[in-house]
Amino acid sequence: MEGETTSKKKMLATLVGCNYAGMRNELRGCINDVEAARGTLVARFGFAPADVAVLTDGRGAKVLPTGANIKRALADMIARAAPGDVLFFHYSGHGTLVPPRHGHGHDGDDREEEAIVPCDFNLVTDVDFRQLVDRVPQGASFTMVSDSCHSGGLIDQEKEQIGPSVQSDSAGSPPLAAPARTARFIPYGALLDHLSGVSGMPSSHHAADHLLALFGADASAKFHGAHGGKLSAAAAALLPDEGILLSGCQTDETSADVAAEDEEEGGGKACGAFSSAVQSVLAAHPAPLSNRELVARARAVLDEQGFEQHPCLYCSDANAEAPFLSQEDTAVGAASQIMSSSAL
């Protein structure tokens, strides 16, 4: 029995939800997304409650989802991992796009890059997620679900499997007219205004200048000189890659935050459209689904509901066909019934 216990794979998760209460860019459904995800991880996939770290900016939260705390929680989770372990990160909150910093371009690439917006606005960028994934032990897996705007490509240099550059199998009829929803997006100008108000520096400065002044070493690696650049495609291809990104939308799209009165299937709770779609697909399909199948089915659900966002999948070819969170048939049974009756 001792041998079986020590060899059993660990299943570790970090869940982050930012509602930004009281701010101009307040959201409603992000903490609800995290609570639903936690219930599903435990009931369906067999995660131990003690191995699911939750960071929200809700009232009375013990650990706030600041940029430094999110990166620390993910680094701690990865440090515990061994080959064969399953790591999961869910983020619900605002996303943004960061333009290139003048005079700091890399390889002539002038495109805007993706980032999530923690509660203290200390951005966590695609470069940070690339560095985290590169530390995952070979043979383990790191699955990331990001229900935020411009979330496609949040793991830098990850291969696109479903997205704007790859034909999707879920193309359907034109979307139905949908009621207005709140986009989980902070425009770059609004980001600068907020950072300027905190740093005291003119908003004409690049976000990197504000973030480095405010957070120093805790600012994104993207903004720290030699560590701020993207990996070349050739270098990335040589690295063992255990990252799997399920994004709520394409890089050029927004993800919707759905108000309580607008979400019938969520039991009247505000939620993220993508998070709700993932929960609906999992509830309807208790048997294991591949990462590709889950994203394709979530796309179809959102299309039927009239949302103009297209979830994407970024990972290796092998991980695209691997079961979501390495679910095994034996994990279905009664556990899926518990999940279906929970608040999804």
Active site residue 18: no
DSSP string, 282-333: HHH--S--BHHHHHHHHHHHHHHTT-----EEES-HHHHHSBGGG--GGG-H
Instruction: For residue 249, give both structure tokens.
Output: 């939308």
Instruction: For residue 15, give both structure tokens.
Output: 């869940």
CA 259 to centroid of chain Cα atoms? 20
| Dihedral sign from CA coordinates of 164, 170, 173, 174 | negative
The rounded distance, in Å, linking the Cα atoms of 124 and 207 is 12
Annotated catalytic residue: which of 18, 149, 249, 312?
149
Active site residue 94: yes
The rounded distance, in Å, linking the Cα atoms of 264 and 272 is 13
Annotated catalytic residue: which of 18, 30, 94, 210?
94
Which residue blocks in 200-308 are alpha helix, DSSP H? Answer: 207-215, 233-238, 273-284, 291-304
Rg, the chain, Cα only? 19
Catalytic residues, by residue number, are: 94, 149
